[in-house]
Amino acid sequence: MEPPDLGKFGRSEQLHAALYGIEQFVINNDKYPADTDADRAETLKLANTRLEELKASGGHEVEIEADIFNKAVSWAGCSISPISAFFGGIVAQEIVKYTGKYTPMKQWLHFDIYETLPREEGINRQIMQCRYDDQIAIYG
């Protein structure tokens, strides 16, 4: 079993907070947030609103790092094929567990791959009509 990366302590709570904002953004706007300052700001506002509700009902406080939150929101609408295949395998395994032989997971799984994201700003996300294009961008 691989030990957890203690250098990322608290990252899963931040990713979960970003997920609150992204989910509410999709509900409100019927689309994923774009890689714009306006969409990131709206998503942060929605996430903070949800975190305040949870804190008022006895939850613990989550401090959101701007870089982590912005990357999660900026790449929320992308479909990266190898990552999709990875999650498809996890879902298939959990379905097999649900049939009764094993016990399925009863918690969240945050797959943190920030090291694989580009470090520079202004990434070109235009469709190039090749196999490396984001499938969600092509087909909506």
Question: Is the full-model pTM beyond 0.75?
Answer: no
Per-residue confidence (pLDDT) for residue 61, from 0 to 100: 81
Side chain identity at residue 55, one-letter code: K
Per-residue confidence (pLDDT) for residue 1, from 0 to 100: 41
Separation between Cα atoms, residue 45 and residue 40, nearest integer Å: 9
Per-residue confidence (pLDDT) for residue 122, from 0 to 100: 66
Domain spans of the chain, in order of start:
9-139
pLDDT means per 10 residues, the chain with 140 residues, are 62 85 94 90 93 84 85 80 82 84 74 72 70 57
Statement: 9-139 belongs to CATH 3.40.50.12550:
yes
DSSP per residue over 47-107, as a string?
A: HHHHHHHHHHTTPPP-PPPHHHHHHHHHTTT---HHHHHHHHHHHHHHHHIIIIISPPP-S
Per-residue confidence (pLDDT) for residue 134, from 0 to 100: 62
Q: Count CB-CB contacts under 10 A for residue 34.
A: 15
